[in-house]
Amino acid sequence: MTLLRSNSKLVDRIEADLAELRADLGARKPTELYDPVGYVLESRGKRLRPLLVHLVSRSLGASYETASPVAQGVEVFHAFTLVHDDVMDNAATRRGRQTVHTKWDLSTAILAGDLLLGLSYELVSRVPHELLPRVMSTFGVMVARLCEGQTADMTFEKRGDVALDEYLRMIDRKTGALLECCFCLGGILGGGSDEVVAALGEAGIELGRAFQIQDDLLDLVATDPKWGKKIGGDLIEGKKAYLLLAALD
């Protein structure tokens, strides 16, 4: 992704922050909880979400240091969703590594996810005090939307009659809400007005749709082994996807 390549120094800095966070967590006890938490955060994802927080906040004049805890918080939140989603999807691997409930067990995956969710709140709270009410409210709305979207996604698997606009509404929650939140938090950190923050949020929702449709497409046609999932896996499992629904529409 061009966005990532053209910001490789910023991504390196984000990685360094996350390494420091892992070192801090690695010193906490019990290890039965913090080992799996560290394991999840070790997985080298694209770091797209913290990157968005930094890019947007910087464009509005906020310093890297001001944005850094929030950027870590959205990545930790993303990690939480992966751990619990993998349990629900019964996924044995992710990005070529064993999932937490496979490497440890179900209880560990539930608790590690819960800890990550709490930690994400702790991190996004580390903002100048006058920004905290807006940050908390934006983050809280996102958390609820994401749970709603994940529920809808699972419900759709059992249904044959999902309409395209229902699908897009689900995607706006399951994938879009967190990207929207990253844009909004970047805007709040940069001191943006409510109008600016709302417009940024819209951009996040659009990015979420593009992202999910690309993901659905890759499920059908990916040839790169880095994709790391079974080709057509979603289709076989009855997961609804844009192309399928558009074809049926």
In angstroms, what is the minimal distance from the CB of 86 to its own copies?
11
Residue number with CB closer to its own copies (132 or 213): 132
Cβ-based nearer residue to its own copies, 93 or 107: 107
Q: Are 21 and 72 in contact (CB under 8 A)?
A: yes
- Where in 60-89 is the site for its own copies (CB under 8 A)? 84, 87-88
Give the C-alpha separation, 75 to 25, whole Å: 15
Lookup: tokens for 42: 């070790």
Using CB under 8 A, pick the residue from 55, 60, 91, 154 that binds its own copies.
Answer: 154
Min CB(42)–its own copies separation in Å: 19
Q: Is 166 in the site for its own copies (CB under 8 A)?
A: no
Least distance between its own copies and beta carbon 8 (Å): 33
Smallest gap, in angstroms, from Cβ of residue 224 to its own copies?
30
CB-side exposure of 5: number of CA atoms within 13 Å? 2
Strand-pair partners of 94: 97
Cα–Cα distance measured from residue 204 to residue 234, given in angstroms and rounded to the nearest whole number: 24
Helical H segments across 125-193, by residue range: 132-157, 164-171, 177-189
**Using CB under 8 A as the criterion, what x/- string covers residues 27-56 for binding its own copies?**
-xxx-xx-----------------------
Q: Which residues of 74-85 are buried (b: 16+ CB within 10 A; e: fewer)?
A: bbbbbbbbbbbb
What tokens were used for 74? 């959205």
| Residue from the set 1, 23, 92, 144 that interacts with its own copies by CB under 8 A | 144
Contact string 90-119 vs its own copies (x = CB under 8 A):
----------------xxx-xx-xxx-xxx
Count CA atoms closer than 13 A to 212's CA, side-chain side.
26
Nearby residues of 234 by Cβ (< 8 Å), 6 or more positions away: 216, 219, 241
Binding stretches for its own copies (CB under 8 A): 28-30, 32-33, 84, 87-88, 106-108, 110-111, 113-115, 117-119, 121-122, 125, 129, 132-133, 136-137, 140, 143-144, 147-148, 150-152, 154-155
